[in-house]
Amino acid sequence: MYMALRPGALGMKVDGLEAAIKLARDNGFQGVEFSAHEAASLIDARGADAVRSLFHDSGIRSAGWGLPVEWRRDEQTWRKGLDDLPRLARAAAAIGSDRCSTWVMPCSNERALDENWKFHVSRFKPIAEILGEHGCRLGLEFIGPRTLRESQKHPFIHTMEDMLRLGSEIGPNTGLLLDSWHWYTSGGTVDDIREVDQKQVVYVHVNDAPLGVPVDQQIDNKRCLPGATGVIDIRGFLTALTHIGYDGPVVPEPFGNPASWAADALRLIWRQAGL
pTM for the predicted model, two decimal places: 0.96
For the chain, what are the domain ranges? 2-32+98-272
Mean pLDDT calculated for residue range 1-7: 95
CB-based contact 10:257 (threshold 8 Å) = yes
Q: Please write the tens of the pLDDT for every residue from 232-261.
A: 999 999 999 999 999 999 999 998 888 999
Lowest mean pLDDT segment, chosen from 180-194, 202-216, 229-243, 247-261 = 247-261
Q: How many CB atoms lie within 10 A of CB 47?
A: 12
Q: Is the dihedral of CA 232, 233, 239, 241 positive or negative?
A: negative
Which residues in 118-144 are b (16+ Cβ under 10 Å) and which e? ebbeebbebbbebbbebebbbbbbbbb
Per-residue model confidence (pLDDT) at position 114? 97
**275 pLDDT exceeds 90?**
no
Q: What is the pLDDT of residues 97-129, one digit of tens each?
A: 999 999 999 999 999 999 999 999 999 999 999
Average pLDDT, the chain: 96
Q: Report percent pLDDT > 70 for the chain.
A: 100
Query: What backbone phi and psi angles, to 5 degrees, belong to 13?
Result: -115, 130
Could you give the C-alpha distances from 193 to 52, 150, 159, in angstroms and in order? 33, 25, 12
Residue closest to 162 by CA, chosen among 117, 212, 216, 98? 117
Residue 123 φ then ψ, to 5°: -75, -40
Flag whether pLDDT at 94 surpasses 90: yes
Q: Which fold has domain 2-32+98-272?
A: TIM Barrel (3.20.20)
